[in-house]
Amino acid sequence: MEKRTFKNTIYAAIAGMTKAFSSPNRLEIIDLLANGEKTVEQIATQTAITVANASQHLQVLKTARLVRSRREGTFIFYSLNGLKSYAAWKALRDLAQEQEPAVQVTLQRFRQALGSPVQELRERLGELPRDKTIIAYCRGPFCTYADEAVQLLHANGFKALRLEESYLDIQLDYN
């Protein structure tokens, strides 16, 4: 086989896999699945797309071996397939956060624009210990709730930190 043919095959195969990453909806799905397995309908609801469209994207991700599925009754649960899939998503995200002004700016605004659902936390502040540091966790760096929680906790005199990494990040550290 010609050297050029080898190269063409390899780069085409990698690009094929990479294409699965290059759609906003699929990235959001990957980001969701980094938090644990989900059904098609959950994914559709949380990403605000139709079920058929979510299913379609999931097929693309599955063909590229980025996600896997298991059946449980009438439900099919999807999850990320392996740590390297997550590692690649993380590398792309880090890169974009460093180099894409749109991401930097929006993310900052996103985290400042305090919203709502720290409501329960506010109501149950009394149940939290004051002698310990509280770690606020929230899936991925694109979820704002951890930030809101930390701000609320600080305002009320608690020691609190935001956990920057998702659970898959923590696993990555051990490999």
Q: How would you classify the pairing of strands 133-136 and 159-162? A: parallel
Residue 41 host element (H or E)? helix 40-47
Residue type, 56: Q
Query: Contacting a second copy (CB under 8 A), which of 24, 73, 126, 129?
Result: 24
Candidate residues 70, 84, 122, 132; the one interacting with a second copy per rule CB under 8 A: 84
- Contact (Cβ atoms closer than 8 angstroms) between residue 67 and residue 79: yes
The residue among 60 and 92 lying less far from DNA, judged by its C-beta, is 60
With beta carbons less than 8 A apart as the criterion, state whether 142 and 104 touch.
Answer: no
What is the full DSSP assignment across 90-140? HHHHHHHHHH-HHHHHHHHHHHHS--STTHHHHHTGGGS-SSSEEEE--SS
- x/- map, 65-104, DNA, by CB under 7 A: ----x-x-xxxxx---------------------------
Residue 131 CB, shortest distance to a second copy, in Å, is: 34
Residue 49 as a binder of DNA (CB under 7 A): the answer is yes
Q: Which is nearer to a second copy, 95 or 170 (CB)?
A: 95
Please tell me the distance from the alpha carbon of residue 47 to that of residue 80, in angstroms, as a whole number: 16
- Say which entry of a second copy, DNA, none residue 76 contacts (CB below 5 to 8 A, set by partner kind): DNA
Residue 142 interacting with a second copy (CB under 8 A): yes
Chain residues in the site for DNA (CB under 7 A): 19, 22-26, 39-41, 49-53, 55-60, 69, 71, 73-77
